[in-house]
Amino acid sequence: MEQAARQRIDKWLFFARIIKSRTLAGKFAAGGNVRINSEKIDQASVLVKPGDVLTITLERRILVLRVLGCGQRRGPAPEAQLLYEDISPKPAAAGEAEPVAAQREPGSGRPTKRDRRKIDQFRNPDDDA
């Protein structure tokens, strides 16, 4: 079988196993969550081709994928990973850990004004107000 030169974005997202179903992929693309070569799309019928760069906004992360090919079917995960190259930016370095929310004793109730001032002073040590 000869591989297609272009493919609808909803089919591609489904074949690449980014989205669970083709219906959801169509709604996802039409919802404005996908950019092709930095241009926002609003239709599931937009065609992608090898070489396009997709920016996909998922619930808790952003994927940047380079399309390497168009799929013929929704195959197993190793086959789906051949359709794209992940060029997403790496998470923050280990030295720059994400801030951790302060832990409170269970059942200690809401913070008092004094506790709130301490929290604010801890979060913003430069502010002396």
This prediction's pTM: 0.69
pLDDT along the chain (129 residues), means of 10: 79 96 96 94 95 93 95 94 93 65 77 88 80
Residue 94 has what pLDDT? 58
Q: Is residue 71 part of a domain?
A: yes
Does 92 fall in a domain?
no
What CATH number is associated with residue 68? 3.10.290.10
Q: Identify whether 115 is part of a domain.
A: no
Question: What is the per-residue pLDDT for 125?
Answer: 85
Q: Report yes or no: 12 and 70 within 8 Å, Cβ to Cβ.
A: yes
The per-residue pLDDT for 3 is 59
- Quickly list DSSP for 56-101: EE-SS-EEEEEE----SS---HHHHGGGEEE-PPPPPPTTSPPPPP
Check residue 24 and give its pLDDT. 96
Overall domain count for the chain: 1
pLDDT at 90: 82
- The residue segments making up the domain with residue 76 are 7-86
